[in-house]
């Protein structure tokens, strides 16, 4: 056998680096998916009131533009992102109580992460859209609440929409 040339050695090194980078990306994506699946399975259920939106622009194709009542309150964060404490009623509807820095969540409360609104007067709850199956617009037009799963650190994931009776809207 012939000894490898420098060019062959460089090519082999590049291939190994590309393979390692690809595996790192796949591992990161897998970890992220596992993390979201765990949040969906074990996170606490919290409902947030949807704020009225002009019905002519509420449904656009296969998604709904979301606006939350919480975003219309004057809540001032000191940083670009932070945690607020929500009080939960018997149906698990969350209402703003105080900033997260003023104490940990107590009985009947939950921490919830938000971002400061661009103007600085208020907060933004993400996401601002909800995707659904084509042909289900009339069903989701009745939505009153955003249905979230929330972990102990206030990290949340929108998992659906709920009707006025706080029942998750399920497509046909």
Would you kindly state where each structural domain of the chain is located, as residue ranges?
1-42, 44-162
Give the pLDDT of residue 2.
61
**Both tokens of residue 48?**
């947030």
Phi and psi at residue 151, to the nearest 5°: -95, 180
**Both tokens of residue 124?**
């933004």
Give the pLDDT of residue 56.
43
pTM metric for this prediction: 0.74
Instruction: Give the pLDDT confidence of 79-135 residue by residue, as tens digits.
Output: 899 999 999 999 999 999 999 866 688 889 999 999 998 876 789 999 888 888 777
Q: Distance between CA 85 and CA 46 in Å, rounded? A: 12
**Spatial contact of 128 and 66, defined as CB atoms under 8 Å apart:** yes
Q: Distance between CA 41 and CA 39 in Å, rounded? A: 5
Instruction: Give the pLDDT confidence of 5-34 residue by residue, as tens digits.
Output: 888 888 888 888 888 888 888 888 888 778
Average pLDDT over residues 36-46: 81
Burial 143-168 (b: 16+ CB within 10 A, else e): bebbbbbbbeebbbbbebbbeeebee
Q: How many Cβ atoms sit within 10 Å of the Cβ of residue 125?
A: 21
Closest to 161 measured CA to CA, from 133, 119, 123: 133
**Spatial contact of 91 and 47, defined as CB atoms under 8 Å apart:** yes
What 8-state DSSP symbol labels residue 151?
Answer: -
Give the pLDDT of residue 125.
93
Give the pLDDT of residue 18.
86
Give the pLDDT of residue 36.
76
Residue 55 pLDDT grade (very low, low, confident, very high; cuts 50, 70, 90): very low
∠ CA(161), CA(124), CA(112), 5° rounding?
A: 70
Instruction: Give the pLDDT confidence of 126-143 residue by residue, as tens digits.
Output: 988 888 877 787 888 889
Give the pLDDT of residue 144.
94
């Amino acid at each position: 056998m012939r000894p490898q040339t420098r060019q062959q050695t460089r090519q082999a090194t590049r291939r190994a680096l590309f393979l390692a980078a690809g595996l790192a990306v796949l591992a990161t994506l897998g970890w992220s998916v596992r993390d979201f699946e765990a949040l969906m399975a074990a996170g606490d259920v919290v409902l947030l009131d949807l704020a009225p939106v002009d019905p002519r622009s509420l449904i656009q194709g296969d998604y709904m533009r979301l606006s939350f009542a919480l975003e219309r309150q004057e809540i001032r964060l000191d940083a670009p992102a932070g945690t607020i404490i929500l009080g939960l009623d018997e149906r698990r509807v969350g209402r703003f109580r105080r900033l997260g820095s003023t104490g940990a969540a107590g009985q009947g409360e939950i921490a919830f992460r938000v971002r400061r609104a661009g103007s600085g007067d208020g907060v933004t709850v993400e996401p601002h859209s909800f995707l659904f199956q084509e042909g289900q617009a009339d069903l989701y037009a009745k939505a009153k609440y955003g249905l979230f799963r929330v972990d102990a650190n206030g990290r949340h994931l929108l998992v659906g929409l709920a009707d006025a009776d706080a029942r998750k809207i399920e497509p046909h």
